[in-house]
Every structure is written in C-alpha cells, then in structure tokens.
Amino acid sequence: MNILGIETSCDETSAAIVQDGTHLLAQVTASQIDLHARFGGVVPEVASRQHVVDITRVVEQVFLDANMTWSNIDAIAVTCGPGLLGSLLVGVSAAKGYALATGKPLVGVHHIAGHVAAAMLASDGGTGATPPFLCLVVSGGHTELLSVDAEFRFTRLGGTRDDAAGEAYDKVARLLGLAYPGGPKVDDLAHRGRPDAFLFPRALLEDDSFDFSFSGLKSAVNNEIVKRRNRGQAVLVEDVCASFQAAVIEVLVEKTKRAAVHTGARTIVVAGGVAANRGLREAMSQLAKELSISAMFPPIELCTDNAAMIAAAAYPRAKQGRWSPLSLNAYAQLSLVDWQDGNWPDVVQIVPNL
Amino acid sequence: MGVIAMDTATDTLAVGAGTSDGRLLSGVIQRVPRGHSRLLQPSVQFALASAGLAMRDVERIVTGVGPGSYTGVRMAVATAKAMGHALRVPVVAVPTVDAMARAAVLAETANGLPHRIVVMLNARRGRAFGACYTRSVDERFVRDCDIQVLPIASWLQVVGDGEDALIVHDLQRDWPMPTHVARSLTWGALSGLMPQALLELGKCPEYAVYTGDGLHALAPVYALLVEAEAKWQAASEGGST
Ligand SMILES: [Zn+2]
C-alpha cells in the first residue's frame, strides 16, 4: 500500500510517498528556515503564505522522484494537528482537494503520532522499530512519554508541565545570543564544553510522576549568565551549553528509565527534533544497555518535521480502512487520545430525537 | 463539460458547479462561523453531484483569491490548486471583491444599476479591503482602482459627491453612509449570488488562468503585508538611510 503524506504544521512544506508504512520511496521538503531567520523565529502568517506557494510544487516533485502517478497511490495522509492553525489548514485543504479530485481515501494524522512513526521507517538497510515500545518524543513543541501498543495505539504516561525540551534549548540559545534556529547549535557547543562547569537544577518532580518541567532550568541558566555578566566575568558559552544539556539529558533519561521499568518495555524509541541530539542519543543508548533492552532512533533527517512520518503513521489506520471524511478539520490543539478515539473537538454529534 | 467555482475569503462559503459558458447548475452557500474548513470540500462534492457532473467532467476551476480573511482565503486557493493539479485543468483566479461587485450587479439589475459600486470587506481596526467599479458604456462594471486596504472613512470619501453609487460591505457596526449614496447593501443580503458571480467572471479573459507548471505560482491576493514583515522592512529601511 502506497500512501502520499503531506505535512505543513509549522515551517516545512513536505510531501512523501511511503510503502506499507515502512519504506520511504521519495520525500520532498521545502524548508522556510531562511524566510523566518530574519524575524528570529517562525512568523505564523509568513509560514502559511509560503505553504500555499510550495504545496503543489512539493507534491509534483515527489511524484517525479518516486517515478509514480496517482494510479500508484492508495491513500492520502495529512497532519491535522497540533501545530500552527494557519499552516495546518493549508495542508489539510490541499489534501482534501487532492482526495476529492482523485477519489483516494484520506487519513488525518496527529503530528506526534507522526514523530513516533518516523522510528518505524526502515533505514540504512535495517528495519525500523516495531510496536509495542516505549517512546520519548522530544521536540520544540513537545516532551512526552508514550507507551505504544502492537496496534499503534498510544497511552500517555507523562509530558511537560511547562516548556518542551526543545523550547528550553531554543530559549537558552537566545540567552546566549546564538542565531535562530539555535537548538542544534547548543548541542554542537555542548560537545566542546565541560558538563560539570555549572550545576543546573534537575526537576524530577514526584517519584511516581512521568511528567517533566524545564522552565526552572531555563531560569537558572539565565540567572547564572546575568550574575556573571554583572560581575564582569566571562561566560564560557561552551560550558553553559554543556552544563545545560547535561541537566536536560539527565532528566529525560531518568524519566524514561522509570517508565521503562514501570511498563516492562523491551524497546525504547526516541523521536522528535531533539532526537537528532547526539548527547541524547548516546545517553539513551547507554540506558538501554544498562536495562538490557534496545534503543531506537529515527534517521537524523526524519527527526525534524517531515511528511514520511505522517504517511507512516497513517498506515495502521489505512490498513483497517479507518478513513477520515472530507469534513476533516485542522486543530492547533489536539490531544493524542482524542485523535485516537476520533473525538474531534468541534464536531457536533447530531442525535436524532426519536 | 463542467466548471467548479469556490470562495472562502468572506464569512460566506460559496461553491458553485456550472457549465463552461458560465451558467450555474448548482450552488452551495454556507454562513457557518469557522465552518469553511470543514464544509468546503463536502460542498464542492455536493454541488457537483447535484449538477449531475462527475469529476472527470470538470474542465476548469474558478477560485476567489481574496483579499479577505487571511486564513479563510487560503482554504479555497489551496483546495483549487490541489484539484487543478490532480485533474490537470486550469485554475482561474478571480479577486473576491470583483465577484462581490458582480453579485451586486446581478441583484440590482432589476432596480436599475448605479453609476458606481464600492465594495468594502472588514480588515479590522477601522480599515477595509476594497475596490471601486464604474459602469462603462456597454453596461459592464470596470474596476477603476487598485484592490487595497484603506480606512473605512477614506473608502466613504472615495464615493465622490453627488454620485449615484452603491456600497456593498460586511462591516459590523453602522458607519454613516454618505447621504447621496443610492443604496448600501450588506454582504449577507447578496452573498447568495456569489456562486453565479464567480462562474460568470471565471470565463472573462481579463482574469489570470493558471495552468501546467504555472499553477504552482497561484497565491491569494493579501493586499496587506504581514505585521512582522512591515516592521522588518521599516527597520531595514531606517537602518540603511
Ligand atoms: Zn514536530
């Protein structure tokens, strides 16, 4: 089964064709990083405008790259939330236009389910992760611990109570004056600094909680920088990055460890933009070794937002014929559980009064 | 052979299915707040089926391209682009305000047509997207200004003294209309004619037709810079002088 995936939830316009949920045949992504760099972050209206221009172009190119036509496509998958509403609506509108014109069935996909499914795609000649597994999703917008069963159904174990881990990376990058997008630069600089130069707090919350909190850590980094600058002391950027990253990773690893023990998981999957972080990959591999289980990561290029992961996440539903109607909407906020159960926030159930 | 027309830039979702020569066979109008996204494609499907047309009969798509509600206008344009792309048929871009003026002409023909039509669509903060149209000798209305955003007060001044003008608007509160204006009609009273207006304008040669690889370039008419872009431009101009 070949699924055309479309993803426009933030600032990448992406289309991909994935076979049987595991084999990426072609992917084309138009990145808007340069467009937003001058604003120091993603401007939603600018992003939405660019998506309209790029959307049919990336679909055209992905068919050329895969050497396919619509006759080779069995279903269309599109991110319907969460994300920037204006951006999501471009992808959803286009996907519905394609579905209507071609008669192909449609699957609305939750963005986080997509990040998880990125780890299920085969890469480097090997196979991807096969559920059930425990999954840590870490990105600019999300930090969540999920238990994923054999049917690709999710149980949320915990998540961030304030900043997402990736958001903390971006904020620290800004404090240090690193150019947007700064998160990956923190990872690079961390490898050249001393992780024990500063002792930043590790918020582990209650013993039985799988939740995260990173806002205190960000404040501690800010206070340290301000304190040193006020005293006229130099702030060694590499040391701040290394110490900050050590604190983030220690918390992520500790919570994942607790969840792995609690659920008896045999596999840990780390997904999302921050899963490209080298420090996190090393620490999670180490944890897996310690627990005698396996750790799996999506290929680096599939950690950031992309359409292949959306097509992959749609496959288990497509296999069961669980299609979305042409009235599919886009949602800035959408819980994984509501998506899973088909409880759309704005769909009025009309119950006949018999 | 059939044509599909759609517009999502105003509070009215308008969809039409008709013939190549601009005759409306089936029109769908829905004024559901925040409903455009859910209802657009099902409405297109319904209009086609009602008109007895199959998807393979569609030989042209007409889309309103704004200006209007930012998020709204993109739904029709993105949908029309995708459909045009998949079906390999041309997409005609009609400014939403032009179609609104055409809807007014369709409604007012029986009452006697005015000399001028001024269209205003709420752009918030006392401003409106708009355009002006003057009746020509052959009874057609020709746009005689750029589609732009102006303070509502300025649009009302544009309606010159003593002119026999018709104002079409979707403004929420009552603005004092110039006393000499023949009529002012709310968009809500006219929007039922939008599907037919779009179909008629969609066959006019003055509108851009996007086809083949050129289709990718089709984008809405926003008529307003993004605030962040305006600030950035002002800042970079200030820095360079
Ligand atoms: Zn993401």
Q: Quote the CA–CA distance of A31 and B209 in Å, as a whole number.
A: 28
Q: pLDDT by residue for chain A (354 residues), tens digit each?
A: 999 999 999 999 999 999 999 999 999 999 998 899 888 889 999 999 999 999 999 999 999 999 999 999 999 999 999 999 999 999 999 999 999 999 999 999 999 999 999 999 998 778 899 999 999 999 888 899 999 999 999 999 999 999 999 889 989 999 999 987 788 899 999 999 999 999 999 988 787 889 999 989 999 999 999 999 899 998 899 999 999 999 999 999 999 999 999 999 999 999 998 999 989 999 999 999 999 999 999 999 999 999 999 999 999 999 999 999 999 999 999 999 999 999 988 877 667 766
Task: Tell me: pLDDT of B81 over 50.
Answer: yes
Strand order through the sheet with B2-7: B24-30, B13-19, B2-7, B58-64, B91-94, B209-210
Q: Across chain B, what does the average pLDDT equal?
A: 92
Count of A–B CB contacts within 8 Å? 116
Chain B residues within an 8 Å CB radius of A329 = 37-38
Give the best residue of A93, A323, A348 to mutate against chain B (max B CB count within 10 A): A93
A286 interface with B at CB cutoff 8 Å: no
CA distance B84 to B92: 10
pLDDT tens digit sequence for B7-56:
999 999 999 999 999 999 999 999 998 999 999 999 999 999 999 999 99
Q: Is the pLDDT of residue B241 over 50?
A: no
Interface contact flag, A38 B232, Cβ < 8 Å: yes
Q: What was the ipTM of the complex prediction?
A: 0.96
Picking from A93, A95, A328, the nearest residue to B74 by CB comes out as: A93
- Which of chain B's residues have a Cβ under 8 Å away from the Cβ of A51? 78
A150 touching B, CB under 8 A?
A: no
Task: Give the three-state DSSP class for A274.
Answer: helix
| A99 vs B: CB within 8 A | yes
**Cβ distance of B74 and A60 shorter than 8 Å:** no
Contact: A60, B216; criterion CB under 8 Å: yes
Quick one: pLDDT at residue A247? Answer: 95
Phi, psi of A13 (to 5 degrees): -100, 115
Is residue B128 a contact partner of residue B157, using CB atoms and an 8 Å limit? no
Q: Report how far residue A186's alpha carbon sits from residue A176's, in angstroms, rounded to the nearest whole number.
A: 9
How high is the pLDDT of residue B162? 61
Q: Which amino acid is present at B231?
A: K
Contact with chain B for residue A41, Cβ under 8 A:
no
Interface test mutation site (partner B, options A8, A11, A45, A324, max chain B beta carbons within 10 A):
A45
Give the integer Cα–Cα distance in Å for A345 and B2.
36
The stretches of chain B forming alpha helices (DSSP H) are 36-50, 70-87, 96-108, 152-158, 187-190, 194-201, 227-240
Of A85, A95, A327, which has the smallest distance from its Cβ to B42's Cβ? Answer: A327
